[in-house]
Structure 1
Amino acid sequence: MLFITFSLTGVIWLSQSLKFVEKLINGLPVSTFLYLSLLLLPEILRYTLLLGLFFGTLFAFNKLYSDSELIVMWAAGLSKSALAKPAIYLALIIALIMYFLGFLLVPYGNRTVTELRVAWQDSLAAVVLREGVFNSLAAGVTVYVREKTSTGEMLGILVHDERVPEKPVTYMAERGAFVKTEEGPRFVMHVGNLQEVSKDDAKLSLLYFDQYTLDISQFEKKSGARWLSPEHRYIWELINPEDSERVQQEARKLNAELHQRIVLPFYAVALVFIALAGVMGGEFSRRGRSRRMTVAAAAGVLLLISAMALFRATAQPALVTTALYLLPVLISFAAAYLASGRQLWFLDNKIAPDNLANGEPG
């Protein structure tokens, strides 16, 4: 289970982390990149844990069956329910972990990633300028930096501002750096000149300076209050959202997200029962159970696909919500019935005396 979970998580995590690679190349600190990437893990683990649990259980019990160890344990007096208990207990533990992920870690990760990305994009004090490339600071404002030192100082600076087409301005400086002040971010340039061209009379104004401070707070994007989307909300924010017009408009999505977080861990138990049914259901055969294993694997994957479809469905909320809760429960009962040899074995943990006398598994 751990091998499958970590393998799937690693592949998905790498693909999701690619969205931050460009920012890493542009100068995003490695520590920040790793932090942002780790914040994606809870959302990924919610689904890879389910797949890891399902295929891990299927593999482990099939291995026991193929090596005749299940037959030996049945002959020694262990019932199917006794053999299945470890897998069921593990499913319950995974369900609890998924509740912890869904209620706390997933919304925390989604919210933090969004906040950091917005802060990174909106704050020009932390803007990343690539060396040897014309960087767009804002609409009509272009910055070129020849070289950046390890201390954050920039060498060979050119800033071209053509927001006023009639009077474009060009700043050139030998060195400079971004500086945070109480009034906002500033771009301090040393030893350079300012060139302003008046296109009306074709006149060039030239100003030489030893130090010039450019106010770049005017280029910053002013972020207002952001709407918290359903996946960014904690469980209590979904149960009792704020009273606003936007909440009324998005009420269906908020309810769908709430039900998804509550019901998704149920599928851990349902998938384990499907795996047990694929291995322990029916009569013993020395030819193996490749067909039953294939059917069980397909049934587990189909169950997850059906769950994903129900999570996305919004046409008839009442019916969809009912189906969302009934599906894992009904599948669990049906799979348990098949795994028991067509009896509800979880209600009887003992082997019938007649079965023991005949050497048959209970």
Structure 2
Amino acid sequence: MQRLDRYILKMATIAAIVLLIGLTSVIWVTQALREVDLITGKGQTVLIFFTVTLLSLPALIAGIAPVALFMATLYTLNRLNSDSELIVMNAAGVAPQRLTRPFIVLTIATSLLVGWMTLSVMPAGFRMLRDLITLIRADFVANVVKEGQFVALDSGVTFHYRERSGDALVGIFMQDRRDPNQPSIYIAERGRTVEVDGNSFLMLEKGTIQRETKRTDTSSIISFERYALNLSALSGDPTGGAGEGDGDKAIYKPRERTTWQLLNQDPNEPYYKLQAGRFRAELHNRLSAPLYPLAFMLIAFACIGEARTTRQGRAFAIQSAILIVAATRIGAYMAWTASVRSPLAAAMLYILPIGAIALASAVILHGQTVRPLLARATAPLMLPLAGLTARFRRA
């Protein structure tokens, strides 16, 4: 690698790292504040609080890294142009596409980071978070909830017991309204929390389960002598409960499963049959994630990669790059949401970044031919933006 490449790579890398750490820290703090209830309401330690919040970092890094790379590319190119370095390079015969080499090295590193996070670290973190929350809930039920109180365990789940007898809870009442179409009420004389193979259960004794199906306007009452209520089901979908005869293993949501499990999913699994669209959306979202760093970097370079004098304003080009990246990211989110219902929408998760890569590459390599065509095609869309920029300058 030549000295010029090392100089640009160092500048862009420092900017990308600073932006990644800064943006991740800000968003992590805002999410951590939501979990303060672990200490104040659920009686957990500071260590548990930080563990729960840190397990969300892989998802934050995977989402923020492409944006940090894009902003670092804009910053580096704008700084090189402000210091007239791009003009000097252009005068020395350095082609604009030649300057993409250090940015491509940084982009490959970012794509590898995003791929590692989305394909391996992020699902493992979500799975650990699910197991930890299950243990917290079991500890909360057994040790924190006080006699005679009605306490919300989760959104739509209310728990109550009359009194404590040793390690057993007496007079248990639990209402589960997470699924509005099929609310359930559990009533038991007594129960206790136990852990089996890493899963926490509330073992209920001598009680009933009242279920109401609003779609068919029917209800049923099931009596039992012993019933194992899987507490991990209370942190997932309402279809993920497990009792006697339902199996002892927790049912993990698509985002909590490894990529290998998603690729080799058993089509006969009951939960998969109910949520096949979510499995498809999660898999394709993970596989397409490493494409976005390259797309965002090339968009930034295509917009402001060429040298410009002080009379040639770069504000409009930077705004255009931001709008294009925002549109690409929003379009990807919409495609991810739509792919839950439509297999064809999953293809858009790949078409959007690949299309952006192809178009930006064409602008970088054949700018004199492609830019006039794009200018005429996007003129109706860019006129409002140009008006806002002119108004801002006058102000």
Letter matched to residue 312 of structure 1: T
Distance 1:337 1:59 in 2: 22
| Cα distance, 1:327 vs structure 2 | 1.5
* Higher relative contact order structure (alpha carbons within 8 Å, sequence separation ≥ 6): 1
| Contact preservation (8 Å) 2:56, 2:125 | yes
Alpha-carbon offset, residue 280 of structure 1: 2.0
Correspondence 1:2 to 2:17: yes
Q: How far, CA to CA, are the matches of 2:352 and 2:368 in structure 1?
A: 20
Partner residue in 1 for 2:205: none
Shift of 1:343: 6.6
Could you say what secondary structure the match of 2:361 adopts?
helix
Q: Within the alignment, does 1:263 sit opposite 2:288 as a pair?
A: yes
Shift of 1:126: 6.1
User: Structure 1 7/141 Cα, relative in aligned 2: closer, same or farther at 3 Å?
Assistant: farther
Q: Percent identity?
A: 27
Matched position secondary structure for 2:251? coil
Q: Report whether the alignment pairs 1:89 with 2:114.
A: no
In the alignment, what sits opposite 2:326?
A: 301
Q: Please tell me whether Structure 1 or Structure 2 has the larger radius of gyration of its CA atoms.
A: 1
The residue aligned with 2:259 is 235
Higher helix residue share = 2
Letter in 1 for 2:358: F
Q: Offset of 1:315 from its aligned partner?
A: 7.1
How far residue 63 of structure 1 moved from its aligned partner, in angstroms, is 1.0
Where does 1:170-319 land on structure 2 (aligned, <5 Å)? 222-223=230-231, 224=242, 225-242=249-266, 243-281=268-306, 284-287=308-311, 288-314=313-339, 317-319=342-344
Paired residues of 1:4 and 1:56 also in contact (CA < 8 A): yes
Partner of 1:204: none
1:311 is aligned with what amino acid? W
- Out of 115, 127, 136, the position equivalent to 1:120 is 136
Residue 74 (structure 1) shift: 2.1
TM-score (norm 2): 0.63
Contact conserved, 1:42 with 1:106, CA < 8 A, in 2?
Answer: yes
**Aligned partner letter, 2:250:** R
- 1:322 maps to what in 2? 347
Match for residue 65 of structure 1 among 70, 81, 93: 81
- 1:303-351 Cα offsets, whole Å, 9 max, x none, are 1111111111137634312222121111112112223452799xxxxxx
In structure 1, the residue matched to 2:36 is 21
Change (3 A) 1:163 1:294: closer
> What whole-Å deviation, never above 9, does each CA across 1:89-148 have from its counterpart, x for those lacking one?
111111111111011110111111111111211246863369xx98558524368xxxxx
1:12 aligns with 2:27: yes
Contact 1:54/1:271, CA 8 A, preserved across alignment: yes
CA distance in 2, matches of 1:60, 1:274: 14
Change (3 A) 1:124 1:291: closer
Distance in 2 between the 1:219 and 1:241 partners? 29
Choose the corresponding residue for 1:79, options 89, 95, 100. Answer: 95
Contact 2:97–2:364 under 8 Å retained in 1: no
- Over the aligned positions, Cα root-mean-square deviation in angstroms equals 3.4
Q: How far does the alpha carbon of each residue in 1:65-90 deviate from its partner, in whole angstroms, 9 at most, with x for none?
A: 12210111222232222211111111
Equivalents in 1 of 2:289, 2:55: separation in Å?
Answer: 20
Q: Which amino acid aligns with 2:162?
A: V
C-alpha separation in 2, matches of 1:7 and 1:315: 33
Give TM-score scaled by structure 1 length: 0.68
Whether contact under 8 Å (1:336, 1:344) holds in the other structure is no
